Structure 1
Amino acid sequence: MKPMTILSIFVCLLSVLSCGSDNEETEVAIIDVSPAQLSATHEGLVTSATINSGLEWTAFSDDACKDWISCKITDNGSQGTVEVTVKANTTYQSREGKVVVKAGAARTSIPVTQAARPEPSADPDITVPEGYRLVWNEEFNKGTQPDLAQWYYETGGNGWGNNELQHYVAGNQGNEQLAAIKDGILSIIAKKIGETVYSIRMNTKESWKYGYFEARLKLPTGKGTWPAFWMMPKNYTAWPDDGEIDIMEEVGYNANYVSSAIHCKAYHHSIGTQKTGETFLPTAQTEFHVYALEWTEDFIRTFVDGKQLFRFDNDKASNRNTWPFNAPFYLKLNLAWGGDWGGAQGVDESALPATYEIDYVRVFQKK
């Protein structure tokens, strides 16, 4: 009987120890945030939130809003703060996002809401396409240079993939203003300063998926000029796979012939499969004309003064090689000098300075 008694006691001890182990609780952080939510005007916000946790923590903006909400941790001990920056909302739509806070296995979030940019009063000079509403516009009637809350510059002189000759700058080169607003018109100027031709390439900070996009433009003159009004994908990784939409292009040696095109993996000029449209517009360089794009999930169409220039249809094959145009794109304005197309017949520097004039840029989306 004695061996059995010892064995029984041993089994009971194992059971007790096992139960004790199962009941041990893993430490889980309790995260307290203040304030519990953030609200920003359309003009943006910089503020701080206090984080209390028994563990070291981190905070970051959610992937869906990381392009307009950013975080800077000033102290991430058991108690600390995170600085939250909400960029200006340049659209006429409110938006929502969140700041995520993590401590160990625990997670919480701070909701962030931002008001829409106030819609302008009805303007009899703005014609809204049927079925659409105005969501963004730049009339160039304020200040002397583009509003950096709505635009940003691309800079550099690396040829831009087309062996272009100009060097792009952020509005000015020294004392020379190359992006200038006067009397409601933006002038983009290509000018030779010293031994270098400088110019402007500017993009909207906002991007859109589908819509009606238009600009009223007067094109520069001279062999070597290459003005464009076009769109590129917000989340660009590779050309031409991610797509490109050219609403208007013209090269100075082929004066007054304006064209539109799309580029994607299946259709682009590098392999001779380009999809383009062209028309002769006798006063393209002497008068303003309206160039527009209507982009839906079914087609891309461009217009000059309301007349269709180009159409490209979605083949509905769910093939990104032929239709990558189902993601947000942003607008671009630039004046190149020379390059594979602009300089195909050489350049004439006597045409400098050359001026590309923009009256307005407008974006409409379906109601």
Structure 2
Amino acid sequence: MPKKHIRKPRRRSTAVIGSLAGLALLGFGLYGLADASVAKPPGGWHKVWSDDFSGAAGTLPSSKNWITDTGTSYPGGAANFGTGEVQTYTKDTANLQQDGSGHLKITPLRDAAGKWTSARIETKRSNFEPPAHGKLRIQARVQLPNVTGAAAEGYWPAFWTLGAPFRGNYKNWPDIGEFDVMENAAGQNKVSGTLHCGTDPGGPCNETQGLGDSRACPTTACAGHFHTYTFEWDRSSSPQQLRWYVDGVRYHTVSSDQVDAATWAAATGHGHFILLNVAMGGAFPDPVAGHATPSSTTRPGVPMKVDYVAVYSSRGSASSAPSPGNS
């Protein structure tokens, strides 16, 4: 969720797209399961961090793993987190809680005065990066809010990362890098993956749009169904690559030779931290609706559910698609 500056309407750049149709078909039933434990790493990979949100119903996610953001900005950072989103983030369990069935729920709510609240969390760890000449995989199994059409105006669920140097600075975006593993706007039946880097506006990464692409979710609609979203960061290839997948189907690739070496190093030469949130309104959903959102038709109280978040590492040199299995 490119989060530091107002975005223009998003028109995705052309990307290298690999269609792994056979793998998607193989994963049909597995991706449809209502619940799953943290996915086992494929051969040559090992798990370095995960959370499966197995806490008691009505509890906040583990404070050992997560920081819960509150308010409408970082200290000294851009208002409304730089995107024009209208909600206030809280620690209220009405907005953020584990459900007792192995899921985290982030639920946007509207009060009697029309004010919106929601939730946003980020990992305490900010050192997620591949080993030298290796790879890193950041993955989550997520059910997007089960709302579409006019009732979904303003919904902006996201699973993403920011470069570690952002913490405590809050003014060095997009130079420090942002990887949007999954974004969705207004209940559309497609998800987006984006790299943000360089300078804003414009620059080598076409800010504020970034270098991104989008596609429909395989087999079932994005809204209301669990899908597995994966981002692979590969330092073993030449040129280096960033790759985006949904349910094992690669739909976007950015290579280091698409930007200058200094821009690539500034965005990828350090660790990142992971974020989950549901914003309301702002620079992504507003252009989809064609007007300011959320609106009078927007339905509050529809959660994004997260089954697990996991990070895997590999020292291998060959690229491999994410495993379709979730157990």
With the length of structure 1 as denominator, give the TM-score of the two structures: 0.61
Counterparts of residues 4-83 of structure 1 (less than 5 Å): none
Match for residue 200 of structure 1?
119
Amino acid in structure 2 at the alignment position of 1:366: S
- Distance (whole Å) between structure 2 residues aligned to residue 316 and residue 341 of structure 1: 24
Distance 2:68 2:38 in 1: 28
RMSD: 2.1
- Alpha carbons 1:212, 1:363 under 8 Å: kept: yes
Match in the other structure for 1:209: 129
1:220-259 equivalences under 5 Å are: 220=145, 221=147, 222-236=152-166, 237=169, 238-252=172-186, 255-259=188-192
Question: Secondary structure, in 3 states, of the residue corresponding to 2:108?
Answer: strand
Residues 340 and 318 (structure 1 numbering): CA distance in 2 closer, same or farther, change over 3 Å?
Answer: closer
Query: Which residue of the partner structure matches residue 296 of structure 1?
Result: 234
Q: What's the offset of the Cα at 1:317? A: 7.8
SS in 1 for 2:165: coil
**Structure ID, larger Rg:** 1
Identify the match of residue 156 of structure 1 among 59, 68, 71: 71
2:207 to 252, 264, 270: 270
The CA deviation at 1:179 is 0.8
- Inter-CA distance 271–138: structure 2 relative to 1 (3 Å threshold): closer
> How many angstroms apart in 1 are the aligned matches of 2:313 and 2:38?
18
Structure 1 unaligned blocks of 5 or more: 1-122
Q: Which moved more, 1:227-236 or 1:312-321?
A: 312-321
* Corresponding residue of 1:353: 301
**Percent of aligned pairs with the same residue?**
27
Residue number in structure 2 paired with 1:330: 273
2:155 and 2:225 mapped to 1: Cα distance?
17
User: Amino acid of the residue matched to residue 204 of structure 1?
Assistant: T
SS at match of 1:126: coil
Residue 136 (str. 1) matches residue 49 (str. 2): yes
Q: Distance in 2 between matches of 1:216 and 1:299?
A: 23
Cα distance, 1:124 vs structure 2: 8.2
**One-letter code aligned to 1:152:** I
Seen in structure 2, the aligned counterparts of structure 1 residues 269 and 164 have a Cα distance that, compared at 3 Å, is farther
Deviation at 1:242, TM superposition (A): 1.0
State the Cα distance separating 1:271 from its structure 2 match.
5.9
Question: 2: distance between equivalents of 1:249 and 1:235?
Answer: 22
Cα deviations across residues 265-296 of structure 1 (Å, max 9, x unaligned)? 13445366x31111012511121000001112
* Partner residue in 2 for 1:178: 95
Counterpart secondary structure, 2:107 = strand
TM-score, normalised on structure 2? 0.68
Structure 2 residue corresponding to 1:315, chosen from 246, 257, 276: 257
Given residue 248 of structure 1, which amino acid in structure 2 is its aligned partner? Answer: M
Letter in 2 for 1:327: H
Ranked by relative contact order (alpha carbons within 8 Å, sequence separation 6 or more), the top structure is: 2
Cα deviation, residue 125, structure 1: 6.0
1:127 deviation in Å? 2.3
SS of 2:263's partner is coil
State the distance in 2 between where 1:204 and 1:240 align.
19
The number of residues matched between the two structures is: 239
Segments of structure 2 that go 5 or more residues without pairing to the other structure are 1-35, 73-78, 131-135, 316-327
**Counterpart residue number, 2:106:** 188
